[in-house]
């Protein structure tokens, strides 16, 4: 609140200065223009009386010229404000462009796998966004190829940070993360991100056709491949009922589709790129119960045969995971199957009972 007050006060003061300069400039210009016209009239009138000549044409010509001179000055004041806003906006853009690359250079011997097997290993990984504010405090686990690992925990426990480190959106400070027994720092960003598919909670759809949103304008993906993937997810029949089918315009952010339909489109998109590792980040958190059943079938299709990391608040969607890991304030507190964790009667059991207990 104190930071906001300081920023708000600075914004107010700057706005007052801008308004003051604006309010002073225009009256000064108008006064100078009026004085100029007055001087022209006074001078030409004096000359006309002295020389006994007709000066009306000269007076009108001078007044028109004065207006032509001062009008650009008035417009210049408006353009100066626009220029100032443009300078500020460009500073923000250049600040982003000038940021140093966060990822350190990869090793000289770059690994070029045809396809990941899918083994993921975290070894005592420590990470923080800000110095001295740890987010992950020594996370260690191994996911074998083809396994489904579920991450659960309260908001801020570090679930999404784990997936961000795996895709190298951030760099960890201590420990190591390995894919197929090789450190992620040995791979280039393109190599990792071409093999890792991510489905987020908030699906962004661009203004355009369903086909463009699924393929992302990749010319190597044909309509036949899109239809095949849609059938596997169970979305093909719905798409064909829309006007234009796969050429239906979903509009900006997919406002023409429901939340569940947008989520299914993101699954088709992920399936088409056939990633070795799949990350589902809260993919069912905003879905109604009817859509959840359809999406659960789509998830079962999507995770089949590939290593998957599933983040979910709804525990019903992760009961079939090979391993469930419970995070609390950046620490891995429990790990095991649904039955094993229920038998422990710890964090997971308490969360499960909270979600599925019936009121008396």
Express each pLDDT in 52-95 by its tens digit: 666 677 778 878 887 787 778 777 767 777 887 888 889 989 98
DSSP-assigned beta bridge partners for residue 153: 327
Looking at residue 3, what is its pLDDT?
Answer: 93
Domain boundaries, the chain: 2-97, 120-356
Looking at residue 76, what is its pLDDT?
Answer: 75
Residue 326 contacts residue 347 (beta carbons within 8 Å): yes
Rounded CA separation 214/224 (Å): 12
Rounded CA separation 219/216 (Å): 9
Rounded CA separation 228/240 (Å): 13
Query: Considering the entire predicted model, what is its pTM?
Result: 0.68
Domain 120-356 fold is Rossmann fold (3.40.50)
Looking at residue 358, what is its pLDDT?
Answer: 46
Looking at residue 104, what is its pLDDT?
Answer: 59
Q: Could you give the strand order of the β-sheet that contains 196-199, starting from the edge strand earlier in sequence?
A: 196-199, 277-281, 307-311, 148-153, 323-328, 331-336
Looking at residue 109, what is its pLDDT?
Answer: 47
Place of tokens 């699954």: 267
**Residues across the chain:** 360
CA-atom Rg of the chain in angstroms: 32
Looking at residue 54, what is its pLDDT?
Answer: 65
Q: Which residues of the chain have pLDDT under 70?
A: 47-55, 77, 101-114, 283-293, 316-317, 356-360
């Amino acid at each position: 609140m104190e930071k906001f007050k300081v920023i708000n006060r600075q914004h107010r003061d700057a706005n007052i200065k801008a308004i003051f300069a604006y309010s002073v400039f225009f009256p000064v210009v108008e006064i100078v223009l009026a004085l100029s016209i007055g001087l022209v009239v006074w001078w030409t009138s004096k000359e006309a009386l002295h020389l006994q000549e007709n000066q009306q044409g000269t007076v009108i010509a001078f007044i028109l010229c004065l207006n032509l001179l001062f009008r650009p000055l008035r417009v210049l004041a408006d353009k100066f404000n626009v220029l100032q806003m443009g300078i500020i906006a460009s500073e923000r853009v250049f600040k982003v462009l000038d940021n140093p690359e966060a990822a350190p250079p990869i090793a000289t011997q770059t690994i070029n796998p045809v396809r990941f097997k899918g083994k993921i290993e975290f070894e005592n990984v420590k990470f923080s966004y800000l110095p001295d504010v740890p987010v992950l405090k020594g996370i260690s686990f191994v996911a074998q190829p083809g396994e489904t690992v579920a991450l659960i925990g309260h908001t801020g426990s570090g679930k999404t940070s784990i997936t961000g480190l795996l895709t190298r959106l951030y760099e960890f400070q201590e420990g190591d993360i390995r894919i197929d027994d090789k450190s992620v720092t040995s791979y280039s960003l393109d190599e990792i991100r071409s093999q890792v598919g991510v489905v987020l909670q908030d699906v962004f759809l661009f203004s355009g056709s369903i086909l463009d949103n699924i393929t992302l304008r990749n010319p190597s993906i044909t309509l036949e491949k899109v239809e095949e993937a849609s059938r596997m997810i169970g979305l093909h029949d719905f798409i064909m009922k829309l006007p234009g089918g796969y050429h239906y315009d979903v509009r900006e952010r997919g406002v023409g589709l429901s939340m569940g339909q947008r989520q299914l489109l993101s699954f088709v998109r992920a399936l088409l790129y056939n990633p070795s590792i799949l990350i589902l980040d809260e993919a069912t958190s905003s879905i109604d119960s009817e859509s959840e059943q359809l999406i659960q079938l789509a998830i079962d299709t999507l995770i089949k045969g590939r290593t998957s990391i599933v983040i979910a608040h709804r525990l019903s969607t992760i009961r079939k995971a090979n391993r469930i890991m419970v995070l609390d304030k950046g620490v891995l507190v429990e790990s095991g199957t649904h039955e094993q964790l229920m038998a422990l009667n710890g964090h997971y059991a308490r969360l499960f009972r909270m979600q599925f207990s019936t009121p008396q």
